[in-house]
Chains A and B, each alone.
Chain A
Amino acid sequence: MASLVFFYFAAALVLGGAITVVMTRNIIYAAFGLLTSLMGIAALFLLTFAEFLALVQVLIYGGAVVIVIIFALMLTRLDDFRQLSDHKGWPLGAAAALALFGLMIAAIVRTPVNTGPREGVSFTVMGESLFQDWAVPFEIASLVLLIALIGAVVMVRRSDPDDGANDDGGPN
C-alpha cells in the first residue's frame, strides 16, 4: 500500500513536470519541469529496486543534461524567454498525441504478460550481464559517446578565418 502511494507521488512528479515542459510560457520553468520529471523517474527506479540506475539518473540527467539545456537556453535568444508561443497547428499535435496514447493503452490492455512479484536485480547479476554478455555493445556505446562529443566540439568551433574577426575565444 505504501508503495502504491509512493508510485502515485512519483507519477505525479513525472507527469506534472512533463506537462510543465510542454505547456509553460516561460522557458526556464520548462527546464525546471524537465528536472522535476527526470527526478520523478529516479524515484521510480528506486521503487523497482534499481538503485544504481536511480544514481545514474540523478547524476547524468540532474547533473549534466539539465545544466547543458539551461546553458543552451541562456545562449540562444534571451528576449523571448517569457513570451513563448506554440506552433499554429498545435491542436493537430494534441490530436496525434492523444491518438497515439489511445493506441498504446489498447495495446497494453490486450497484451497478456506473465508478471511476477516486484523484484530487483542484484548488482552482481547486472554487472555480469553488462560486462560479459554485453561488453562489446558497451564499448561501442562508449565509442559513440566519444565520437558524438568530438563532433559537437568540431561543430561549434569557429573554423572560417573570416568569421574569426570578432572571435573572443582562444586560438582555433
Chain B
Amino acid sequence: MIELTHFQVLGAALFAIGLYGVLARRSAVLILMSIELMLSAVNINLIGYAAFVDFTEAQRSLGQVLIIFVITIAAAELALAIAIILRLYRNRSTVNADEINLMKF
C-alpha cells in the first residue's frame, strides 16, 4: 500500500540529486536541467499531498492547481534561461559556469 511518506522521500531524494547537479556541474545547460529536476521534486511532493491528505476534495484540488502554476513558472524560467545561455555563448563563446566571472567580486 502506497503512503504519503513514499512520495515525500522520493521528492526529497530528487531534490537532493538536483541540488548536487546544480553545485557540481559546470555546463550552464546541465545546471538548468538540474534546476528542472528540483522543480519536479516539488511537484512530486504536491501530488502526494493532493492524493493522500485527509481533506475535502475542493481543498485537495489546490495541490493540483499549484502543480499547474509550478509547471508554468518552470516553462517561463526555462525560456529565459536558454535565452541567457545562448546570448552568453554568442558573447563569450563559452557556457562553462567557471569561466563566467565577469560579475565576480
A interface with B by C-beta (< 8 Å): 1, 3-4, 7, 11, 14-15, 18-19, 21-22, 27, 30-31, 34, 37-38, 41, 44-45, 47-50, 52-53, 56-57, 60-61, 64-65, 68-69, 71-73, 75-77, 84-87, 89-90, 92-94, 96-98, 100-101, 104-105, 108, 113-122, 125-126, 128-130, 134, 137-138, 141-142, 144-145, 148-149, 151-153, 155-156
Contact = CB atoms under 8 A, between A and B. Distances in A.
Contacts of B50: 48, 50, 121
Which size class do B's interface residues fall under?
A: 35 or more
Nearest to B69: A141
Interface of B: 1-10, 12-27, 29-30, 32-34, 36-37, 40, 43-44, 47-54, 57-58, 60-65, 67-69, 71-80, 82-87, 89, 94-95, 97-98
Contact of A50 (B36, B51, B75, B97): B51
Nearest to A158: B90
B52 A118 contact: yes
Contact of A97 (B10, B16, B32, B53): B16
A126 B44 CA distance: 18
Contacts of A52: 64
A75 B85 CA distance: 10
Given A60-B75, A87-B26, 12 more contacts: A15-B14, A18-B17, A18-B37, A30-B33, A34-B36, A44-B7, A53-B47, A72-B32, A96-B19, A100-B19, A101-B15, A141-B73
Given A21-B30, A34-B36, A118-B52, A104 B15 contact: yes
B77 A148 contact: yes
Contacts of B9: 105, 108
A152 B83 contact: yes
Contact of A145 (B36, B51, B62, B76): B76
B95 A21 contact: no
Given A121-B61, A141-B73, A22 B21 contact: yes
Contacts of B86: 72, 75-76, 156
13 contacts: A14-B44, A18-B18, A22-B20, A22-B21, A50-B64, A56-B71, A69-B78, A92-B23, A93-B20, A108-B8, A113-B52, A116-B54, A149-B76
Contact of B80 (A98, A119, A151): A151
Contact of B29 (A72, A134, A149): A72
Nearest to B28: A76
